[in-house]
Chains A and B, each alone.
Chain A
Amino acid sequence: MQGTQPRESWLSATDRLAPLLMLAPATIFTLLMIGFPFVYAGYLSLHKLTLGSPTPPIFVGLDNYFKALDDPVFWTALRVNLFFYAVGLLLELVLGTYIGILFGQPLRGVAVARVLAVFPAVIPSVAIGLVFAQMFDPAQGLFNFGLRALGQRPLAWLAAPNTVLQSLLLVEVWQWTPFIALIVMGAMQTLPTEPYEAAVIDGASGWQILRYLTLPLLRPAIVVAAMLRTVDLMRIFDSVYIMTQGGPINSSMTLNVYAFTQGFLFSQFGYASAIMLVLLALTALASASLGALRRRSSG
């Protein structure tokens, strides 16, 4: 017995160390890849740093954040962000759930539709943006050609402040609704059949089955889809940048595009970092509230 004791304690020491050692690479990687940029952005946001300026970064405290409060473009961008988030998410969820439920039915052509539905989500947003920008062109685009053919008045689409947001939203909804539909369809296939049988025996109508059975059962899947889209909609960048760069006259400016413009076009990295951190806080907030909802729905 005595002879085995040191071996045991050695074993228990390795047992204790092993998890730490195994976790270490991931932890270090996370700290370096997420922690460092975050801390550095925080540092930059407290400084006035103009790339290409001979002066070194100057500590300005919270000035960059106060500057944002006074900056009308920042507020426009915030409003645009919230518009995309609220309206975009609502449309995508409603349409996506509807299409997802349809996809779950044994209808003719559904298999083909399911395959087609994957495409918008896997095509890079840059490519989609370039194609839609051409189709939206008021003079030469496909959409106005269609409107004229139908005898309607052509629209300015991306070129007018009063139609640009709706046009961008159209692309966003076109691209991401099928993604939600696929998630909902996946969930539909895992639903138990017993409650439905019981509902039919109890004489529930189709609407009642949908309202009181299908939707509540799908709720966890819909909340997950909403969380995924929340993060993407809040940090919307590529399609907006490709199609309008925030124009005309900043009317489609989002916080992400504005931060990029301030940083890489105007070289104001301190201000750009401050805007990005505000966006990060907003995204975290939106995501956390959905997380709470998810816990409530699963609990």
Chain B
Amino acid sequence: MKRIALFTLLLAVLLLVACATPEPTKAPVPTAVPAQPTKAPEPTKAPEPTKAPAPTSAPAPTTAVQPTKAPEPTKAAEPTKAPAATFDWKQRAGDTLVLYLPQHPWTTAIQPFFPDFEKQTGIKLEVQTFAEAQLRDKVLIALQAKSSEFDFWMSLKSREGLKYYRANYYELLDKYLADPKLTPPDYNVKDFAAGPFGGEKFENKLTGLPIIIEGPVVFYRKDLFDAAKIPALKKIEDLETAAAACMKANPGITGVTLRGDPNAIAYTFGPFLRAFGVNYRDANGKSQLSSPNGLKAVEYYTKLARDYGPPGVVTYSFAQSSALFGGGNACMEIESSNELSTIVDPKSSKVVGKVGVMPYPPGPGGDVPTVLQWGVSINANSKKKEAAWLFAVWATSQEMQAKLQLKGIASPRSSSWETPDWKAQLAGDALRAEWAAAVKYVAEKGSGEVGPPAIEQPTVRKIMGDALDAVILGQKSAAEAMKAVDVELDKAER
């Protein structure tokens, strides 16, 4: 009897708990506390901006962002001034916007300013943050269901842009940009660098506004280069000679660490292809990997990986490479510009004060790095598109981007790189100055083609990545592997 009574009691408690819990199918909607990633179904801890949450994400590149203290300089905490007296920021007062954002340095950097936006516009913000992969799944499912559950999100156009554009998931923004009632007169759209702004367009239609840029660059050990008298890298072939010389002078060290993970390799491989004079596709859309110059690029990259890369390079992405280089076990690292903060993180790094950074050296066929931008977009099914646009404009204004730049968010606006505050930050910090020069170079010269142009980016990148790995592992010759890839890529929908 006692057992039955206990069991019944337990059941009753469980039922009570079940009734008190919100329905599992509904996303937990946080109350409007904008600066906090409240109740996201993901770990709610704000991401440490010094660690990259995902391959393409962008950790703050400097120590400027301190996750533990509220990152508001006294000046930044002031409410954003209305840039023009004539512009009506209050036109959508009373609306509530739902923002889906990834755990990302941009999110961390801009959230402290959200109360200013609410004060300035009367628009309430509800923020939900997710890990990048979960955000992507959640957003895709909501968009597919034509749901208006969120109004605004951060989208990686190089990965999903074309697909979402074709599926009409993005609200097209040209008409908002052209409307003086909705866009403040001092917005200055021409200030955006051409690469990242163009990356937000498909068939010349604007699907988002860029917020942060990054690109693969070369980090190298200045101390080891000096000790082994390795000259500065002038051309792409110097990567190999420098790696060989550095390995000879420092037995046991890895010459150069770079990406081999098939899903991630396109990001660091792309610039090699262009350095040898070809794009992923020719003017007719034919895949160029097995063309003579394509093969030269493949052979060179895979040789670097195989002969001078770390053991197990085929599993390497940003996290492994930066751990290796930051631990003092590699002469060079080819990685995203955003990795700087991880590499020289005083908590884990053994190479603080020994690192230099530069863009990819030019190749025989040219010098076009890869630039990648994150953008903010509006859900085509949102019911509060104008309020969402006002937020987008506020978040990407010259003033806000300049403030975020000081927090280590590489701005897609040229003006952010010229402000006196930014220049003052760079003065006396050689590494940051080198980093800034490399990112600026990438922004100005870079191509937005991260992987082979196709609608299903993850699929084509994996096909190419697996083939590159087969060459690295010596399972296939470059010609054999790339011929098969070209056949597949020519079939891929674009």
In the complex formed, the residue of A with least CB distance to B311 is A138
Chain A nearest CB: distance from B490 CB in Å?
18
Given the contacts A249-B469, A249-B473, A139 and B310 also touching, CB distance less than 8 Å:
yes
Given A139-B311, A139-B312, A249:B168 Cβ within 8 A: no
Binds B, one of A4-12, A98-106, A153-161: A153-161
Interface of A is mostly: loop
- Closest Cβ–Cβ distance, residue A129 to chain B (whole Å): 13
Q: Are B456 and A267 in contact (CB under 8 A)?
A: yes
Do the beta carbons of B314 and A247 come within 8 Å of each other?
A: yes
Kindly report which residue of chain A lies nearest to residue B466, judged by CB atoms.
Answer: A249
Also in contact, A249 and B262, with CB within 8 A (given A52-B160, A137-B312):
yes
Q: Whole-angstrom distance between the alpha carbons of A50 and B262 in the complex?
A: 22
CB contacts (< 8 Å) of A139 on chain B: these are: 254, 310-312, 324, 329
Chain A, residues 244-266, CB within 8 Å of chain B (1/0): the string is 11011110000000000000111
Q: Which residue of B lies closest to A159 (CB)?
A: B312
CB distance from B329 to the nearest CB of A (A): 7
Q: Closest B residue to A155 by CB, please name it.
A: B311
A146 to chain B, nearest CB (A): 15
A145 to chain B, nearest CB (A): 12
A-B Cβ contacts below 8 A, count: 79
| Alpha-carbon gap, A248 to B314, bound state (A) | 7
Closest to A267 in B: B456
Query: What DSSP secondary structure best describes chain B's contact surface?
Result: helix
Contact with A along B141-171 (1 / 0, CB 8 A): 1011000000000000000100110111100
Q: Which residue of B lies closest to A139 (CB)?
A: B310
Chain A residue contacts of B140, Cβ below 8 A? 51-52, 267
Q: Is A53 an interface residue (CB 8 A)?
A: yes
CA distance A267 to B314 in the complex (A): 24
Given A140-B323, A266-B456, A266-B459 in contact, is the A160-B262 Cβ separation under 8 Å?
A: no
In the complex with contacts A51-B140, A249-B473, A158-B168 CB distance below 8 A: no
CB distance from B347 to the nearest CB of A (A): 17
For the complex, what is the distance from the CA of A40 to the CA of B475, rounded to whole Å? 40
> Of the candidates A53, A158, A264, A266, which one forms a contact with B315 in the assembled complex, judged by CB atoms under 8 Å apart?
A158
Complex Cα distance, B160 from A244, in Å, reads 24
| Measured CA separation A140–B263 after assembly (Å) | 22
Within 8 A of B (CB), among A157-173: 157-161
A248 touching B310 by the CB < 8 A rule?
A: no
Interface string of B316-332 (1 = CB under 8 A from A): 00001001100101000
Task: Provide the B126-144 mask, 1 if CB < 8 A to any CB of A, else 0.
Answer: 0000000000010011011
The verdict on B489 contacting chain A, using a C-beta distance below 8 Å, is no
A52 CA to B456 CA, complexed, in Å: 10
Inside 8 A of B324's CB, which chain A residues have their CB? 139-140
B53 to nearest A CB, angstroms? 14
Convert A46-69 into 0s and 1s, putting 1 for each residue whose CB lies closer than 8 angstroms to a CB of B: 000011111000000000000000
Taking the complex as formed, is B470 at the interface, i.e. its CB lies under 8 A from any CB of chain A?
yes
Return chain A residues, CB-CB under 8 Å to B315: 158-159, 244, 247-248
Within 8 A of B (CB), among A225-248: 244-245, 247-248
Count of interface residues, chain B, beta-carbon cutoff 8 Å: 36
Tell me the bound Cα distance from A199 to B323 in angstroms.
Answer: 61
CA distance A258 to B207 in the complex (A): 32
- Report B-chain residues with C-beta under 8 Å of the C-beta of A267: 140, 456
State how many angstroms separate the Cβ of A128 from the closest Cβ of chain B: 18
Residues in B with CB closer than 8 Å to A154 are 311
The CA of A228 and the CA of B314, in the complex, are separated in Å by 34
Q: Chain B contacts of A160 at CB under 8 A?
A: 312, 473
Cα–Cα distance between A140 and B253 once the two chains are bound (Å): 11
Please state if B329 and A245 are interface contacts (CB–CB under 8 Å). no
CB proximity of A151 to chain B, nearest CB, Å: 15
B312 contact from A53, A157, A266, Cβ within 8 A: A157
CB nearest to A263 among chain B residues:
B137
Query: Chain B's nearest CB lies how many Å from the CB of A58?
Result: 14
CB of A266 within 8 A of CB of B458, answer yes
Query: What's the interface size class on A, roughly?
Result: 20 to 34
Contacts of A249 in B (CB 8 A): 262, 314, 466, 469-470, 473, 475
Cα–Cα, bound, A139→B470 (Å): 20
Tell me if B312 and A51 are in contact (CB < 8 A): no
Closest A residue, CB atoms, query B327: A140
Q: Is the CB of A247 within 8 A of B262?
A: yes
State the CA gap A137–B475 with chains docked (Å): 21
Residue from the set B144, B311, B314 with the largest chain A CB neighbour count within 10 Å: B311
Q: Does B99 make an interface contact (CB < 8 A)?
A: no
B438 contacts partner chain A, Cβ-Cβ < 8 Å = no
Task: Compute how far the CA of A160 lies from the CA of B456 in the bound complex, rounded to whole angstroms.
Answer: 28
How far, in Å, is B457 (CB) from chain A's closest CB? 10
For B456, the closest partner residue in chain A by CB is A266
Contact status A52-B458, CB under 8 Å: no
Nearest residue, chain B, Cβ from A269: B144
Closest to B163 in A: A52
**Are B470 and A54 in touch, CB under 8 angstroms?**
no
Chain A positions within 8 Å of B475 at CB level: 161, 249
Q: What separation, in Å, do the CA atoms of A138 and B166 have in the docked complex?
A: 43
Distance in angstroms between the alpha carbons of A154 and B252 in the assembled complex: 13
Residues of A within 8 A of B458 (CB): 265-266
B313 lies within 8 A of chain A by Cβ: yes
Complex alpha-carbon distance, A259 and B462, angstroms = 15
Which B residues are CB-close (under 8 A) to A156? 311-312
Residues of B that sit less than 8 Å from A by CB: 137, 140-141, 143-144, 160, 163-164, 166-169, 254, 261-263, 310-315, 320, 323-324, 327, 329, 456, 458-459, 462, 466, 469-470, 473, 475
Residue numbers of A with Cβ under 8 A of B are 50-54, 137-140, 154, 156-161, 244-245, 247-250, 264-267
Additional pairs, 13, CB under 8 Å, beyond known A52-B164, A247-B469, A248-B262: A51-B144, A52-B160, A52-B163, A54-B166, A139-B311, A140-B324, A159-B312, A160-B473, A161-B475, A247-B261, A247-B314, A248-B314, A264-B137
Can you report 16 residue pairs joining A to B where beta carbons are below 8 Å apart?
Answer: A51-B140, A52-B140, A52-B144, A52-B164, A138-B312, A139-B254, A139-B311, A140-B323, A140-B327, A140-B329, A154-B311, A159-B312, A159-B314, A247-B469, A265-B263, A265-B462
